[in-house]
């Protein structure tokens, strides 16, 4: 199979195969689906953050025009929670009792003939609360603290002693606010029961998990549930769980005997589908005068809901970021009366890197060493904990190529030293190592008698390019032209796939797709093993190469046959084979599995009087292993960078401490970067295929975001001399 | 659904009569504020009187200035050749004030009547709002955020008047023309708005049924320089944290006439006669500008979240004056 080693489609920056469909409006997102006879649901949410419902009067709503039913905790059946997943528990079942745990909690669902009737009727429901004072602050003495929730705290060396004897120390506290994922696509669910089978169109990053959850909650076999998500209008992590509104929509459909559709409103998106939790991080770094690190002490606390969980070990990655003999990382959570956080693009890493790489810049400034040079002096050539060589690591090349492209050498190290008229100019940078993540995956490949191929898996493409990239992998492994290959996803009836998350899908899915496609070639060779006239008779997989819809002998490349000829001769309509992938075992391979690495270089312009901050340009140098599609990968990095600019300068979900209400739950009030804020974003890929995976890929879905906030904060310090340790960085802090 | 009647008026008299006869009726023009507030449950008029077909379009000029009919869209006004040539202040405020899509829908009359962008006012789930429910209190004061106003406000209400255009127009001494049941009248825009500290729920002098039919914008002296500066977190599509509309007539380094208005800081578009007084007959230099800026924010009432606006507004004003006067820092 030589073509896998020298692939024509893999790596090429081909256009998205779904691009034309999306541009033409032909791609159906979850909110686009309608079925005959459907009813519409609308949610009523709590206006207090803690306490209990003492009375709920639904009579007027039930009598309102078009209303079919009103669902509250009083008529909701006891529902079990969904199953635990690889990344945590399911959200607790909704409407199970009268308790209120956060502002914006669903307290009732109205089902009506039209959406407008349902929304109007929610305003007729009278809820009486016995409200109590919510716990909304980290420093509230009533706030329950959870230490080491994930068992990931780490310690090596002797941090206390090393810090005591360090030539130089920096120690600071960094804070990051709640951020809301805010995909453009409003989350939507359409639930259709047909006797005891359930079909659900849903905004999800993980149909396989959604199926398992709905089957358990509604006590039906998984085979009776089908979850569809062919297109998802973004998610950034908020589609990794089966949220309560999904359960409520399915429940409403069962209670009314009608298909039911629910589309969240934008304000509801702020409390219903997760957010990046606020965090407080304390970091102390000790170093020798030479810049050599002696110790890192990184401790974090982030917020979580009262009765749910979230995976946010902000400090954990600091254990492996640099060659440093003594490191402590500690992560904890406090339980607040807030809606539950969830993964938001680069969960934990996005916040933790901001603190570590800001502190590193402070150390460089204190030592009088160039920030880039300081990172190189502490470069982790081997995995700092296991001591094993990395499966791939081109972070040094990221630093070098990024610095060259950016013009880092033009930086005058003195803060406030570079100026253009009213604008102070700042250069800042940060390094990133994204954790490796892999999970099992399955895929199915079919080659048809007409020579076309159909490959599928229950994955999702949340805008990342999965459709396109997997089409490329299938085409290359099968040796069939791109336009003769269809890759499909977003259907839980397809072979199970992991989530589009953790920067892990491309590696897991591409490997499974490759396995399935190789299986097809193998089975087609089996077909001709007894064919006296076939030039491929007796050939094993190793003996052939593929291309142009044909299989050829490796030793005599001009001899071969097409898939179409072989299948037709054997009277086969098609050949279908399932494939699978599973995470490798690092110790068996004797190497530390690496995720992507990156170096971020940023120029900011800060108005010297007005404090207005604008990002002038960003250079991202990325080691993503083998890049399967240069164009979609570049788009991933650009999109991540925009998210990083938002995290750095704009995004903050403001919760009123007194009431627990989110004060800015609209796109007019919650700022994300607009086009005018996104200037020149340059991306370059460096490095080699990773040695630990068959295709050599490393996920690039999140590395684009990480490091941008620190690089901007460092650039703002360079421009102004003001160190901002709290995100977002806003002009009022620079006046 | 929240049922409401819809009527389309064909002339101004009919529109005024329709509204005057029904205390629960509202006018509907571009709808960019009205419909949002209805969807959010903040406003629930029982009848909307659509005035978009009224003959209140077009821009004319004479010696008194520019006459802008009320249904002229923001985009039409921004593109008007007289505005482009003689009213850079107005054009800049319009272009910085809204996206093209909004400018194509929103009318000049409607822009002047846009409601507060306060998220507490705009969420009926918040019980305390003196603007929605007089006497209920102000949740925004208790939970301070940075978008609120600092001038013309008090603990009763800190809501911001977020228009950019109106800031430019108060600086230019624009006059609004009204028609109601008791006839026509004209009101200087500087006297059109009321401050939140005195009447959170009553934002202007309109009586029920009174309709803005047009606005007259007098010319500045031919030698005047003017400009609008808007400061905000992101580069576009955000209300001002602070803005300044300024005009100066300067001769031999001395300021003869000055106009100053601030946005992003007031419960109404904030004309500052105090700043103008400092500027008039004073040398056009940084020191004068700073003194004028200090005068402009006299009486600011701040919350922890809005305290920075006192400084930001001054710096914004100084920069705006410097930009139009050519004075080096």
Tens of pLDDT, residue by residue over A508-533, are 999 999 999 999 999 999 999 999 99
Q: In the predicted model, is pLDDT for residue A94 greater than 80?
A: yes
Q: Where in chain B is the domain with CATH 3.30.390.50?
A: 225-325
Intrachain domains A135-180+276-381 and A389-435+593-735 with the same fold: yes
Query: Which tens digits make up the pLDDT trace of A152-186?
Result: 999 999 999 999 999 999 999 999 999 999 999 99
Full-model pTM: 0.97
Question: Across the beta sheet with A485-488, what order do the strands follow?
Answer: A485-488, A453-456, A441-448, A574-581
Phi, psi of B7 (to 5 degrees): -135, 140
- Look at residue A135 and tell me whether its pLDDT is greater than 80: yes
Q: Where are the domains of chain A?
A: 2-27+439-583, 33-132+183-235+239-272, 135-180+276-381, 389-435+593-735
The rounded distance, in Å, linking the Cα atoms of A311 and A392 is 26
Percent of chain A exceeding pLDDT 90 equals: 96
Q: B315 touching A, CB under 8 A?
A: yes
Which token pair is A246?
Answer: 């999904």
> What is the pLDDT, as a whole number, of residue B188?
98
Peptide bond into A481 cis (omega under 30): no
Question: B326 CB near a chain A CB, below 8 Å?
Answer: no
pLDDT of res. B24: 95
Q: What is the DSSP letter of A681?
A: E
Taking only the tens place, the pLDDT of each residue in B170-229 is: 999 999 999 999 999 999 999 999 999 989 999 999 999 999 999 999 999 999 999 999
Radius of gyration of chain A (CA): 27
Torsion B273-B275-B277-B280 (CA) sign = negative
Sign of the C-alpha dihedral, residues A211, A212, A214, A218? Answer: positive
In chain A, residues with a C-beta closer than 8 Å to the C-beta of B125 are 47, 661
* Per-residue model confidence as pLDDT tens digits over A662-714: 999 999 999 999 999 998 999 999 999 999 989 999 999 999 999 999 999 99
Straight-line distance from the first to the last Cα atom of chain A, in angstroms, rounded to the nearest whole number? 63
CB contact under 8 A, A120 and B2: yes
Question: From the centroid of its chain, how far is CA A76?
Answer: 33
- On whether the CB atoms of residues A711 and A590 are closer than 8 A, the answer is no
CB contact under 8 A, B233 and A650: yes
Interchain proximity B234–A671, CB inside 8 Å: yes
Average pLDDT of chain A is 96
* Sign of the CA dihedral with A563 first, then A565, A569, and A571 last: positive
Q: For residue B143, what pLDDT band results from cuts at 50, 70 and 90?
A: confident
Beta-carbon separation of A658 and B2 below 8 A: no
Specify whether the CB–CB gap between B119 and B146 falls below 8 A: no
Helices assigned H by DSSP within chain B = 12-20, 34-39, 74-79, 81-86, 88-97, 100-105, 108-112, 139-142, 165-171, 273-279, 286-296, 308-325
A610 to chain B, any CB pair closer than 8 A? The answer is yes
* Angle, CA of B168, B170 and B171, to the nearest 5°: 65
Sort out which chain B residues have CB atoms less than 8 A from A65's CB and list them: 1
Choose the closest CB to B125 out of A47, A614, A664: A47
State the pLDDT at residue B142.
Answer: 86
Q: Is the pLDDT of residue A3 over 80?
A: no
CB atoms under 10 Å from CB of A609, counted, come to 18
As a whole number of Å, the CA-based R_g of chain B is 20
Q: Which residues of chain B lie closer than 8 angstroms to A663, CB-CB?
A: 119-120, 143, 145
What sign results for the dihedral spanned by CA atoms A208, A211, A217, A220? Answer: negative
Tokens representing B81 are 């050749």
In the DSSP assignment, the letter for residue A655 is B
Q: Would you give the DSSP letter of residue A324?
A: -
Q: Which helix (H) or strand (E) holds A250?
A: helix A244-256
- When CB atoms are compared, the residue of B119, B232, B312 closest to A664 is B119
Given a contact cutoff of 8 angstroms between Cβ atoms, the answer to whether B249 and B221 are in contact is: yes
Interface test with B, best of A663, A670, A678, A716 (most B CBs within 10 A): A663
pLDDT tens digit sequence for B111-138: 999 999 899 999 998 999 999 999 999 9
Q: How far apart are CA B159 and CA B132, in angstroms?
A: 11
Residues 6+ apart with CB under 8 A from A400: none
Q: Give the end-to-end CA distance of chain B in Å, rounded to a whole number.
A: 58
Closest alpha carbon to A359 in A279, A278, A285: A285
Cα A88 to its chain centre, rounded Å, is 15
Which tens digit of pLDDT belongs to each residue from A273-291?
A: 999 999 999 999 999 999 9
Known catalytic residues of A are: 702
Top CATH class, A2-27+439-583: alpha beta
Could you read off the pLDDT of A34-61 as tens digits, one per residue? 999 999 999 999 999 999 999 999 999 9
Find, among A622, A619, A642, A626, the residue nearest to A703 by Cα.
Answer: A622
> How confident is the model at residue A19, as a pLDDT?
96
Task: Kindly give, in sequence order, each residue whose CB lies less than 8 Å from that of residue A635, ignoring residues fewer than 6 positions away.
Answer: A465
Q: DSSP string spanning A343-358?
A: --SSTTHHHHHHHHHH
Alpha-carbon distance B316 to nearest alpha carbon in chain A (angstroms): 7
For B73: left if phi > 0, alpha if psi spans -120 to 50, otherwise beta; the answer is beta
Query: What ranges in B264-326 are assigned the alpha helix state H?
Result: 273-279, 286-296, 308-325
The SS3 of residue B239 is coil
Residues of B in contact with A123 (CB under 8 A): 2, 41
Distance CA A349, CA A316 (A): 9
CATH 3.30.420.10 fits A33-132+183-235+239-272, yes or no: no
The encoded tokens of residue A424 equal: 């102070």
Three-class secondary structure of residue A517 per DSSP: helix
User: What CATH number labels B225-325?
Assistant: 3.30.390.50
**Distance, CA of B151 to CA of B322 (rounded, Å):** 23
Return the half-sphere exposure (C-beta side, CA atoms, 13 A cut-off) of residue A317: 27
Q: Does domain A389-435+593-735 have CATH number 3.30.365.10?
A: yes
Backbone angles phi, psi at A431, to 5 degrees: -105, 155
pLDDT, position A586: 82
Tell me the per-residue pLDDT of B43-76, one tens digit each, with 9 for 90 and over. Answer: 999 999 999 999 999 999 999 999 999 999 999 9
Mean pLDDT of A94-100: 98
ipTM of the complex: 0.96
Q: What's phi and psi for A359, nearest 5 deg?
A: -60, -35
pLDDT of B1 reads 58
Size of interface A-B (CB pairs under 8 A): 84
d(CA B249, CA B255): 6
Residue whose structure tokens are 């008007």:
B80
- From chain A, pick out residues whose CB is under 8 angstroms from the CB of B312: 610-611, 731-732, 735
Q: Tokens in use for B51?
A: 């005035």
CB distance A423 to A346 below 8 Å:
no
Helix %, strand %, coil % for chain B, to 5? 30, 25, 45
**CATH no., domain A135-180+276-381:** 3.30.365.10
Residue A691: is it exposed, middle or buried by C-beta count within 10 angstroms (0-12/13-18/19+)?
Answer: middle
Given CB atoms, is A483 within the 8 Å cutoff of chain B?
no
Cα–Cα distance measured from residue B42 to residue B285, given in angstroms and rounded to the nearest whole number: 47
Mean pLDDT, range A610-624, rounded to an integer: 98
pLDDT band at A6, cuts 50/70/90? very low
Query: DSSP code of A644?
Result: H
- Beta-carbon contacts of A443 under 8 Å, excluding residues fewer than 6 positions away, are A455, A456, A457, A495, A497, A509, A512, A513, A515, A516, A578, A579, A580
CB contact under 8 A, A674 and B41: no
pLDDT surpassing 80 at residue A191: yes
Biggest CA–CA distance in chain B, Å, is 65
Separation of CA A524 from chain center: 38
Provide CATH 3.30.43.10 ranges for chain B. 1-50
CA distance A62 to chain B (A): 13
Q: Categorize the per-residue pLDDT at B329 as very low, low, confident or very high, splitting at 50, 70 and 90.
A: low
Q: What CATH class does B1-50 carry? A: alpha beta
Q: Is B328 on the interface with A (CB under 8 A)?
A: no
Give the best residue of A61, A615, A649, A656 to mutate against chain B (max B CB count within 10 A): A656
Residue B325 and residue B316: Cα distance in Å, rounded?
A: 14
What SS3 state is found at A71?
strand
Per-residue pLDDT tens over the stretch B267-318: 999 999 999 999 999 999 999 999 999 999 999 999 999 999 999 999 999 9
pLDDT at position A513: 98
* DSSP 3-state of A211: helix
Residue A728: name the closest of A611, A597, A616 by CA: A611
Buried b (16+ CB within 10 A) or exposed e, B266-290: bbbbbbbebbbebbbebebbeebbb
The helix or strand, by DSSP H or E, that contains position A302, with its residue range, turns out to be strand A293-305
- Burial category of A78 from C-beta neighbours within 10 Å (exposed 0-12, middle 13-18, buried 19 and up): exposed
CA atoms within 13 A on the CB side of A520: 38
> Mapping DSSP to helix (H, G, I), strand (E, B) and coil, where does residue A471 land?
helix
Gap between the Cα atoms of A267 and A355, Å rounded: 30
Q: How far is CA A454 from CA A4, A444, A578, in A?
A: 19, 8, 12
Query: Do residues B72 and B79 touch, judged by C-beta distance below 8 A?
Result: no
Give the model confidence (pLDDT) of A439-479 as tens digits.
Answer: 999 999 999 999 999 999 999 999 999 999 999 999 999 99
Q: What is the mean pLDDT of residues A626-645?
A: 97
3-state secondary structure of A129: strand
């Amino acid at each position: 199979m030589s073509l896998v080693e020298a692939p024509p489609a893999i790596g090429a920056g081909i256009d998205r195969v779904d691009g034309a469909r999306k541009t033409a409006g032909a791609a159906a997102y979850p909110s686009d689906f309608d079925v005959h006879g459907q009813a519409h649901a609308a949610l009523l949410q709590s206006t207090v953050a803690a306490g209990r419902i003492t009375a709920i009067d639904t009579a007027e709503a039930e009598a309102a025009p078009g209303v079919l039913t009103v669902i509250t905790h009083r008529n909701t059946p006891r529902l079990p929670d969904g199953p635990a997943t690889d990344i945590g528990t399911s959200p607790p079942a909704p409407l199970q009792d009268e308790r209120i745990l956060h502002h914006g909690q669903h307290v009732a669902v109205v089902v009506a003939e039209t959406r407008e009737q349902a929304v109007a009727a929610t305003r007729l429901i009278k809820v009486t609360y016995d409200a109590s004072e919510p716990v909304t602050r980290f420093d509230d003495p009533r706030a329950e603290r959870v230490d080491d929730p994930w068992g990931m705290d780490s310690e090596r060396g002797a941090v206390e002693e090393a810090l005591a004897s360090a030539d130089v120390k920096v120690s600071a506290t960094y804070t990051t606010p709640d951020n809301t994922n805010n995909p453009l696509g409003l989350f939507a669910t359409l639930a259709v029961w047909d006797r005891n089978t359930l079909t659900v169109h849903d905004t999800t990053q993980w149909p396989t998990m959604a199926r398992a959850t709905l089957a358990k909650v509604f006590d039906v076999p998984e085979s009776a549930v089908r979850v569809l998500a062919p297109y998802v209008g973004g998610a950034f992590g908020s589609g990794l769980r089966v949220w309560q509104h999904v359960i409520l929509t399915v429940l409403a459909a069962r209670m009314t005997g009608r298909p039911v559709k629910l589309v969240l409103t934008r304000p509801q998106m702020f409390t219903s589908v997760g957010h990046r939790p606020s965090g407080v991080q304390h970091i102390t770094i000790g170093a020798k005068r030479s810049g050599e690190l002696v110790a890192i002490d990184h401790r974090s606390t982030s917020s979580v809901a009262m009765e749910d969980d979230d995976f946010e070990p902000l400090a954990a990655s600091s254990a492996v970021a640099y060659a440093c003999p003594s490191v402590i990382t500690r992560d904890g959570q406090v339980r607040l009366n807030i809606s539950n956080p969830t993964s938001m693009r680069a969960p934990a890493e996005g916040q933790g890197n901001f603190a570590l790489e800001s502190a590193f810049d402070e150390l460089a400034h204190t030592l009088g060493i160039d920030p880039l040079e300081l990172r190189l002096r502490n470069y982790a050539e081997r995995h700092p904990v296991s001591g094993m060589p990395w499966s791939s690591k081109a972070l040094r090349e990221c630093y070098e190529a990024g610095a060259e492209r950016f013009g880092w050498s033009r930086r005058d190290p003195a803060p406030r030293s570079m100026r253009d008229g009213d604008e102070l100019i700042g250069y800042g940078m940060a390094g990133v190592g994204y954790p490796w993540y892999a999970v099992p995956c399955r895929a199915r490949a079919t080659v048809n008698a007409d020579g076309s191929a159909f490959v599928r898996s229950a994955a999702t493409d949340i805008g990342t390019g999965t459709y396109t990239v997997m089409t490329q992998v299938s085409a290359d492994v099968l040796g069939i032209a791109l336009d003769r290959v269809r890759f499909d996803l977003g259907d839980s009836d397809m072979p199970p796939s992991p989530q589009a998350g953790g920067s892990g899908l491309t590696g897991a899915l591409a490997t499974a797709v490759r396995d399935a496609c190789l299986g097809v070639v193998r089975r087609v060779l089996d077909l001709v093993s007894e064919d006296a006239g076939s030039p491929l008779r007796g050939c094993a997989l190793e003996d052939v190469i593929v291309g142009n819809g044909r299989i050829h002998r490796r030793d005599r490349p001009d001899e071969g046959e097409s898939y179409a000829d072989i299948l037709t001769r054997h009277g086969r309509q098609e050949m279908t084979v399932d494939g699978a992938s599973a995470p490798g075992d690092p110790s068996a391979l004797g190497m530390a599995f690496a995720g992507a690495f990156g170096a971020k270089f940023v120029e900011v312009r800060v108005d010297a009087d007005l404090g207005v901050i604008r990002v002038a340009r960003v250079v991202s140098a990325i080691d993503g292993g083998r890049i399967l599609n240069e164009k979609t990968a570049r788009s991933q990095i650009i999109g991540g960078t925009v998210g990083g600019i938002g995290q750095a300068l704009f995004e903050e979900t403001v919760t009123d401490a007194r009431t627990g209400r989110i004060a800015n739950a609209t796109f007019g009030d919650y700022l994300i970067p607009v086009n005018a804020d996104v200037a020149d974003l340059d991306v370059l890929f460096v490095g080699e295929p990773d040695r630990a995976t068959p295709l050599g890929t490393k996920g690039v879905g999140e590395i684009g975001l990480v490091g941008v906030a620190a690089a901007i904060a460092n650039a703002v310090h360079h421009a102004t001399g003001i160190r901002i340790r709290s995100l977002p960085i806003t002009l009022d802090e620079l006046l | 659904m929240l049922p409401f009647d819809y009527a389309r008026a064909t002339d101004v008299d009919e529109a005024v009569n329709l509204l005057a006869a029904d205390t629960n009726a509202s006018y509907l023009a571009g709808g960019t504020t009205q419909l949002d507030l209805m969807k959010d449950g903040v406003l629930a008029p029982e009848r909307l009187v659509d005035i978009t077909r009224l003959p209140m379009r077009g821009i004319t000029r004479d010696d008194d200035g520019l006459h802008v009919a009320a249904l002229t869209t923001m985009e039409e006004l921004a593109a008007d050749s007289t505005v482009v040539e003689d009213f850079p202040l107005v054009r800049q405020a319009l272009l910085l004030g809204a996206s093209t899509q909004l400018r194509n829908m929103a009318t000049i009359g409607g822009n002047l009547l846009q409601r507060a962008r306060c998220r507490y006012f705009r969420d009926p789930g918040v019980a305390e709002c003196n603007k929605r429910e007089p006497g209920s209190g102000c949740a925004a004061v208790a939970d301070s955020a940075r978008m609120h106003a600092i001038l013309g406000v008090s603990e009763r209400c800190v809501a911001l008047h977020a228009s950019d255009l109106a800031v430019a127009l108060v600086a230019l001494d624009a006059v609004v023309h009204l028609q109601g049941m008791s006839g026509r009248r004209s009101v200087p825009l500087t006297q059109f708005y009321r401050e939140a500290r005195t009447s959170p729920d009553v934002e202007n002098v309109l009586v029920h049924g009174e309709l803005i039919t047009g606005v007259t914008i007098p010319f500045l002296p031919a030698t005047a320089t003017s400009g609008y500066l808007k400061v905000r977190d992101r580069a576009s599509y955000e209300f001002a944290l602070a803005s300044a509309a300024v005009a100066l007539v300067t001769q031999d380094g001395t300021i003869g006439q000055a106009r100053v208005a601030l946005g992003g800081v007031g419960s109404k578009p904030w004309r500052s006669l105090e700043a103008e007084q400092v500027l008039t007959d004073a040398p056009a230099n940084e020191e004068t500008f700073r003194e004028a800026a200090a005068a402009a924010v006299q009486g600011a009432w701040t919350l922890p979240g809005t305290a920075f606006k006192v400084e930001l507004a001054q710096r914004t004003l100084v920069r705006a004056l410097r930009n139009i006067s050519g004075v080096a820092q």
